[in-house]
Amino acid sequence: MLLGLTSGCGARELAAPPQSTSAPATHLSVPRPPQLSRAEPVLWVGLEDHLGSHPAAMPLRLSSAGAPLTLEDGAGRSWKAASFTVRWESVALPNPLTLARRIAGPFASFESAERLAQRWRALGVTTSVAHPNEWEVWAPQGSIAPKGTAVRDWTRRVHATVEPILDTSEGLQPIKGPLKITAPDGLRWNRGVFRGPLRLQRDAYGSWTLIEQVAIERYLEGVVPHEIGASSPVSALEAQTVLARTWALANSHRFNIDGYHLCSDTQCQVYSDPRLAGAAVRQAIAATRGRLLSRAGRPISAVYHATNGGVMAAGPEAWAMQPQPYLVAKVDGDEGWRQRHAIPLQQPQKVSSLLIDLAGAYGAQHPLFRWSRVITADEIRQSIGAPAQALQSPLQLNALQRGKSGRVLALQIAGSDEAEPVVLRLDRIRRTLRRLPSTLFVIEPQGLDRWLIQGGGFGHGAGLSQSGAIDLAWRGWSTERILSHYYPGTVYGPLPGGV
């Protein structure tokens, strides 16, 4: 097995942790990212992860958007050029290492993994949330797991690491991580330009991550246009800006195990070229500078989504998380809408009644406010994989449990024999059956092994509905009123005492 050694702070690379006689390490430790400054938080954002996962992995190509790049490695050596190519090689360890861990997961989201990690920590066990491919929770070998938690044991003997080598005109030169990258005019990456500073450093899985160190207000320039759309009305843009800032600060521990704060894809907030932010987005960022949503002096879990289909979800209807008083099930529309569709909506007929109605719902203009999908047993088997292969046709598809918002909390797929049914819960439903835009739906059989799924909304449904916020902004609602509507009981403004 090839696995990266731990990277060090600054330009120093640390040795691997000593092997314990009682229990080996779960992984090779990577230093945590720096604490965020109260005055000017700087986020470490992973632009690309799992680089150099094996010696034959694709080379990393670094190209300047103008002035030459400067590379400095962990040994203090530096190079300057318009572009660089980093390749990978296997390097044998003088002393092989043993790693072992108990693994729970995979989980469909960080939120669900973190909830299990917290339960495990309550038993006095040190745990880490990791993302080798999907979200997992790692604990030391032999740890007692929380009741009802399925775990598997993993052990590896590590004989070599994957190391970067620089392709230069003088030939291939081994380089020592972390690699610092200075780009005066920015680095060209993924069809965009990122100003940096940047760094290439090891992760917990034996591979490497390209990271940008970006001030949070500039980070927002790369997030807001891609999350809600730059043409949205002013108060909706400002609300989205406040949420993106709040979410980033509240989730800055998300990739602690890998030594950075946030990723740049849909597992975090989509972050792209900040230069694409137009005047309206920049004005929204400036108008809300330093402001976020908080409760009890801490940033809230500022989750949001595209459209809720006319009813907000409580947090535990989306993920295995502790209830939060600001993430509650609540119909999202005018007085007439609220009277016709009162919470709770746990009966299928109430959900059906809501789904055939549009009048008075906020955000009903979204193309996925209402949707329908036909799915087949073959599609279900393909999506679920091995656990569904033992189920004999014809299959049965049943909503076992609904939340107060009417969303399906547990979806059962059963066979016509005695084989144990497969049950998908919470966010695992959408992550598995990816053609379903939300879990707000009803099921209508269409003959053997075929079902019509009629639903509403796009996303998990908790917190702000972006289409709802746009609708309310056009109706004249202020930024603060929109935020109070979707997150009742929270405080809008600077965080007391800073980050």
**Per-residue pLDDT tens for 259-278?**
999 999 989 999 999 998 99
**Per-residue pLDDT tens for 158-172?**
999 999 999 988 889
Q: What value does the mean pLDDT of the chain take? A: 92
Residue 13's pLDDT is 37
Element (H, E) at 483: helix 479-486
Q: At what angle do helices 234-250 and 216-227 cross, to 10 degrees?
A: 120
- Whether residue 432 is predicted with pLDDT greater than 90 in this model: the reply is yes
Cα of first residue to Cα of last residue in the chain, in angstroms, is 40
CA 226/CA 275 separation, integer angstroms: 12
Structure tokens at 449: 């092994």
What percent of the chain has a predicted confidence (pLDDT) above 90?
86
CA 122/CA 97 separation, integer angstroms: 29
**Per-residue pLDDT tens for 82-134?**
999 999 999 999 999 999 999 999 998 898 899 999 999 999 999 999 999 99
Determine the residue type at 29: S
Structure tokens at 379: 């599609």
Residue 496's pLDDT is 65
Residue 102's pLDDT is 97
In the three-class reduction of DSSP (H, G, I as helix; E, B as strand; rest coil), residue 412 is classed as strand
CA 38 vs CA 42, 197, 263, 498: distances in Å:
10, 20, 21, 5
* Least confidently predicted of 17-26, 53-62, 188-197, 222-231: 17-26
In the three-class reduction of DSSP (H, G, I as helix; E, B as strand; rest coil), residue 120 is classed as helix
Residue 495's pLDDT is 75
